[in-house]
Amino acid sequence: MITVHHLNNSRSQRVLWLLEELGLPYAVKRYERDPRTMLAPPELRAVHPLGKSPVIDDDGLVLAESGAIVEYLAETYGEGRLLPAAGTPERLRHRYWMHYAEGSAMPPLLMSLVFSKVRSAPAPFFVKPIARAIADKVMGDFVSPQIRLHLDFMEAELGKSTWFAGEQFGAADIQMSFPIEAAAARGGLDASRPRLMAFLERIHGRPAYQRALEKGGPYTLMK
């Protein structure tokens, strides 16, 4: 039996969604973020030394990292589903997007989250203007332009095919969902990027996505 160590409002929602798409039986062990720090609870360190989610336990095989988990589940249990055929251009695109999601798309979004917290964090009155000025400078000169660059890139790539790896929905789309949903949560998506908006509408309408929400509980990304 596969057990998903599921942290609320986190990347582990993708794992639940994939399992629902594959129709696999699984159990969910829930963890809640600290409401003050928004960090995962220390109990997760008993599962994996980094104490982060997602982590799965597949009959004693403990595996962390979203991309590794998605690839492992699709390759081990997919029986050809959600993966383009080996040796095809679509399979190469699939591999690219599996790595791009966390390696390229997420870092500027995480930096945006961090600097928004820096800007609003409690501080002595004489420090706060300096912290805000630094945060605004980094956001304006680097982070925001990088986010726009990546969103424009993803928007253009979805003009080449219905889904990220081709005309068939697949595991790469599940992996790519998190940065796109994170961008939407931070106000980075609107009618100027209709393909990304349509992508979100399509995935949110999938029955397996809805079932995963029922299993995982409320799903609200941090802003």
Whole-number Å distance between alpha carbons of 132 and 140:
12
pLDDT in tens, 93-132: 999 999 999 999 999 998 998 878 777 767 676 667 877 8
Q: Is residue 211 part of a domain?
A: no
Are both 59 and 95 inside the same structural domain?
no
Are both 103 and 193 inside the same structural domain?
yes
Q: Which of 111, 127, 129, 109 is nearest to 183 (CA)?
A: 109
Q: Which of 150, 55, 70 is nearest to 106 (CA)?
A: 150
Domain count, the chain: 2
Domain ranges, residue 71: 2-82
Q: Is residue 216 part of a domain?
A: no
Are both 101 and 160 inside the same structural domain?
yes
| Residue 57, phi then psi, degrees to nearest 5 | -125, 110
Q: Is residue 67 part of a domain?
A: yes
Whole-number Å distance between alpha carbons of 117 and 105:
20
The CATH number for 6's domain is 3.40.30.10
Are both 77 and 119 inside the same structural domain?
no
Q: Is residue 215 part of a domain?
A: no
Beta-bridge mates of residue 27: 3
User: What does pTM read for this prediction?
Assistant: 0.92
Helix (H, G, I), strand (E, B) or coil at 129: helix
Are both 55 and 122 inside the same structural domain?
no
Whole-number Å distance between alpha carbons of 90 and 208:
23
Are both 62 and 114 inside the same structural domain?
no
Are both 168 and 97 inside the same structural domain?
yes
212 pLDDT more than 80:
yes
Q: What confidence category does residue 223 fall into, taking pLDDT thresholds of 50, 70 and 90?
A: very low
Q: Is residue 214 part of a domain?
A: no
